[in-house]
């Protein structure tokens, strides 16, 4: 039995879920609309403020699809109701971030500035306060897309273990190494 797949998805107020005959799920909410094609072997039923997903058989493939699509639809419901936010900080001397026309311009110790074009579904904001690291804030209703954009930004300069410089998520703990000064 799938532990995740059998859980009902609660539908908050203001969110509507439509399922057409091709198993295309459309979730509409106050923040926007998302669509996802669901496997044909899964059936979706709305029952008193919740959505229940069930599968036709007990094959290994259908069991895995059951949990996967339940998680995807739950993420869509959360996205259109509340949205997702990811915050990243740039740790390093002279590291800067600014936003120009839905483009993120990063100065992260390379010979040139890195310019990233943001997808239209993702809004980006950069804040730099005195005596603190610059913080880049990403907001979107699509969890997969915002995670992919955040991973791409982090991959430009991942945090290194000796000085801790790089791009990291706010609150992320970076394991530090002592370096050659520790060998006595």
Domain locations in the chain as residue ranges? 9-81, 84-169
List, in order, residues 6 or more apart from 69 with CB less than 8 Å away.
5, 36, 38, 39, 42, 53
Residue identified by tokens 């895995």 is 64
9-81 under CATH 2.60.120.10, yes or no:
no
By the 10 Å C-beta count (0-12 exposed, 13-18 middle, 19+ buried), 59 is classed as exposed
Do 9-81 and 84-169 come out as alike in CATH topology? yes
- CATH classification number, 84-169, choose in 3.20.20.140, 3.30.460.10, 3.30.365.10, 3.90.930.12: 3.90.930.12
Per-residue pLDDT of the chain (184 residues; tens, 9 = 90+): 458 888 999 999 999 999 998 889 999 999 999 999 999 999 999 988 899 999 988 888 888 899 999 999 999 999 999 999 999 999 999 999 999 999 999 999 999 999 999 999 999 999 998 889 999 999 999 999 999 999 999 999 999 999 989 999 999 999 999 888 766 6
By the 10 Å C-beta count (0-12 exposed, 13-18 middle, 19+ buried), 97 is classed as buried
């Amino acid at each position: 039995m799938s532990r995740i797949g059998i859980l009902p998805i609660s539908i908050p107020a203001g969110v509507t879920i439509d399922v057409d005959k091709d198993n295309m799920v459309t979730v509409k909410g106050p923040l926007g609309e998302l669509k996802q094609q669901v496997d044909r072997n899964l059936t979706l039923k709305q029952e008193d403020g919740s959505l229940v997903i069930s599968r036709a058989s007990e094959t290994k493939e259908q069991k895995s699809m059951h949990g996967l699509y339940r998680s995807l639809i739950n993420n869509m419901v959360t996205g259109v109701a509340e949205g997702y936010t990811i915050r990243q900080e740039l740790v390093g001397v002279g590291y800067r971030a600014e936003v120009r026309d839905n483009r993120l311009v990063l100065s992260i110790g390379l010979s040139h500035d890195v310019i990233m074009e943001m997808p239209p579904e993702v809004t980006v904001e950069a804040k730099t306060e005195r005596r603190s690291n610059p913080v880049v804030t990403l907001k979107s209703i699509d969890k997969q897309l915002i995670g992919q954009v955040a991973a791409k930004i982090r991959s430009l300069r991942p945090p290194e273990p000796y000085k801790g410089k790089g791009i990291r998520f706010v609150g992320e703990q970076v394991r530090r190494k002592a370096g050659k000064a520790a060998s006595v």
